[in-house]
Chain A
Amino acid sequence: RKEVEQDPGPFNVPEGATVAFNCTYSNSASQSFFWYRQDCRKEPKLLMSVYSSGNEDGRFTAQLNRASQYISLLIRDSKLSDSATYLCAVNMAGYALNFGKGTSLLVTP
C-alpha cells in the first residue's frame, strides 16, 4: 500500500538555493497534511502543517493541491542547517498518519 509517495532524493543544493519537494497521496478523503523534518537517527519533528490555502513560515512554504492530490514544501535561501530528511504525512481524521519515505536534502557550502 503506497498511499504517500515522495522522491527519496538526495537533493544536493548549494547554500542560498531554493528547493522544492513534492509528495503525492492516493486517498482523496485525506484531511490533514504535514511536513516533518528528521535529522539522522533522531525522531521526526513537525516542521509545519499544510493548509488548503497554503501557508508560510519564514523561509518555508507549504502548499496543498487537492485536485492533483499532492502537497509541496518550498525552502528558500537554503541553510546548511536545513540538511535533513523531510517526511510528508497524511491522514484521514481520527486515523493514523501515513508517512512518505522521506526526501533527503543536503545543503552544501
Chain B
Amino acid sequence: EIVLTQSPGTLSLSPGERATLSCRASQSVSSNNLAWYHHKRGQAPRLLIYAASIRATDIPDRFSGSGSGTDFTLTISRLEPEDFAVYYCQQYGSSPRTFGQGTKLEIK
C-alpha cells in the first residue's frame, strides 16, 4: 500500500499568514488522485482539494493544491480563524486508499 507522510506534524502560524503543508507518497500516486481534507474534532471532515489541484465545491480560493507523482502541497494563502484545524492528505488512486497522519495547524 502507498504510505503518505505529511510534514510538518504541527504548524504554528498567525491569522493572515501563509501556510504550506506537504504530503509525500512512498510511490507515485496514480493519476494524481490526491485529496486534502480539513478536520476539526467532533465535526465531519471536509474535502478541500481533489485530483491534487482542483478545489471542491464552495471551497474558497485561498486554498490551493499542487504537485504530482510523489510530492504534493496544500497552500493556504491568508489564514482565517476557521482554518486552524488538522489537515489530512489521501490517495485514492490505488487500493487500499490511504491517508497521511495529519498536520495540525494551530494559532501562534
Whether chains A and B associate is no
Q: Which residues of B contact A (CB under 8 A)?
A: none
